[in-house]
């Protein structure tokens, strides 16, 4: 989409399960899941969006992953890191709550993994992540991924034509007038 339109993609943190313990938690299989496929409706949504989403065995605490994503964004590698972290979790079933996994993902996309891990240990981006999460709650966001195109907001994995339609609507109608 960013190649087709002159847009900037900005990632914002959202804690889907803020009560997950630091070490993560076992994730029992959901009814209708197979070893390699999620249950409906996620299975169909992922397929429609062209995504691979294998059921994870554990639910990670994502605070480190969100802070690592903010680090990547601050270093101009948001999309690259996001895609690599997605693959690590959903395709390769790696635990994004572990520093060594995030270090590897950072290295894969050309970031300094050692520097990133140090920033995580020092909680450099913790306040930013929590502020973004609080802002999302304030706006009523309750799921991930959530997308904002102009004044249109939608949640969940979506096929490309949904994004294209949202962009066309925004370009044809323009941005809403700024409130005073």
Domains and CATH numbers, the chain: 25-139 (3.40.30.10)
Average predicted confidence (pLDDT) for the chain: 90
Bridge partners, residue 39, by sequence: none
**CB-based contacts of 149-154 (< 8 A; 24+ apart in sequence):** 150/174, 150/175, 150/176, 151/175, 151/176
Q: Does residue 12 surpass a pLDDT of 70?
A: yes
Q: Looking at 103-177, which runs of residues are DSSP E strands?
A: 146-149, 152-155
Of 21-35, 138-152, 163-177, the range with the lowest mean pLDDT is 163-177
Q: Which residue has the higher pLDDT, 69 or 148?
A: 69
Instruction: Please state the rounded mean pLDDT for residues 52-78.
Output: 96
pLDDT tier at 67 (50, 70, 90 boundaries)? very high
Q: Looking at 48-101, which runs of residues are DSSP E strands?
A: 58-59
Q: Does residue 169 surpass a pLDDT of 90?
A: no
Helix (H, G, I), strand (E, B) or coil at 40: coil
Percent of the chain with pLDDT over 70: 96
C-beta of residue 97 within 8 angstroms of C-beta of residue 85? no
Bridge partners, residue 154, by sequence: 147
Q: Does residue 175 surpass a pLDDT of 80?
A: no
Going by the DSSP 8-state scheme, the letter that residue 136 receives in this structure is H
**134/167 Cα distance (integer angstroms):** 27
Going by the DSSP 8-state scheme, the letter that residue 22 receives in this structure is T
pTM (predicted TM-score): 0.85
Token representation of residue 146: 């959530």
Instruction: Please state the rounded mean pLDDT for residues 60-80.
Output: 97
pLDDT tier at 176 (50, 70, 90 boundaries)? low
């Amino acid at each position: 989409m960013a190649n087709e339109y002159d847009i900037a993609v900005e990632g914002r943190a959202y804690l889907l399960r803020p009560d997950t313990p630091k070490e993560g938690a076992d994730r029992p299989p959901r009814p209708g899941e197979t070893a390699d496929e999620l249950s409906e409706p996620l299975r169909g949504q992922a397929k429609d969006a062209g995504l691979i989403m294998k059921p994870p065995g554990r639910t990670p605490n994502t605070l480190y992953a969100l802070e690592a994503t903010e680090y990547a964004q601050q270093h101009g590698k948001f999309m690259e890191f996001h895609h690599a972290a997605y693959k690590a979790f959903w395709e390769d079933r790696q635990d994004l709550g572990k520093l060594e996994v995030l270090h590897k993902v950072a290295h894969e996309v050309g970031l300094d993994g050692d520097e990133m891990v140090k920033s995580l240990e020092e909680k450099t981006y913790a306040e930013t992540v929590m502020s973004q999460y609080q802002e999302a709650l304030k706006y009523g966001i309750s799921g991930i991924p959530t997308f904002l195109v102009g004044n249109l907001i939608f949640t969940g994995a979506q096929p490309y034509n949904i994004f294209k339609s949202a962009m066309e609507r925004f370009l044809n109608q323009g941005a809403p007038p700024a409130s005073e």
